[in-house]
Amino acid sequence: MIHPIKRICVFTGSRHGSNPQYAEAARQLGRELVGRNYSLVYGGGNVGLMKVIAEAVLDLGGHVTGVIPDSLVSKEVAHRGLSELRIVQSMHERKAMMAELSDGFIAMPGGIGTMEEFFEVLSWAQLGIHRKPCGLLNTGGYYNRLIEFLDHAVKHDFLKPKHRSLLILANEPPDILSQFEAFIRTRGGDQYFDPSKT
- Among 163, 44, 30, CA closest to 108: 30
Under the banding of pLDDT at 50, 70 and 90, the label for residue 195 is: very low
Whether 90 shows a pLDDT value over 90: the answer reads yes
Question: What pLDDT does residue 139 have?
Answer: 98
Instruction: Provide mean pLDDT across the span 109-136.
Output: 96
Under the banding of pLDDT at 50, 70 and 90, the label for residue 63 is: very high
Under the banding of pLDDT at 50, 70 and 90, the label for residue 74 is: confident
Task: Between 165 and 191, name the one with better pLDDT.
Answer: 165
Whether 174 shows a pLDDT value over 90: the answer reads yes
Task: In the chain, count H helices and then E strands.
Answer: 7, 7
Cβ atoms within 10 Å of 48's Cβ, excluding its own: 23
Candidate from 9-18, 44-53, 72-81, 112-121 with smallest mean pLDDT: 72-81
Instruction: Provide mean pLDDT across the span 116-135.
Output: 96
Backbone angles phi, psi at 130, to 5 degrees: -145, 165
Under the banding of pLDDT at 50, 70 and 90, the label for residue 124 is: very high
Under the banding of pLDDT at 50, 70 and 90, the label for residue 196 is: very low
Under the banding of pLDDT at 50, 70 and 90, the label for residue 129 is: very high
Distance CA(177)–CA(55), nearest Å, equals: 19
Instruction: Provide mean pLDDT across the span 7-17.
Output: 97
Domains of the chain (ranges; CATH) run 7-184 (3.40.50.450)
Cβ atoms within 10 Å of 63's Cβ, excluding its own: 18
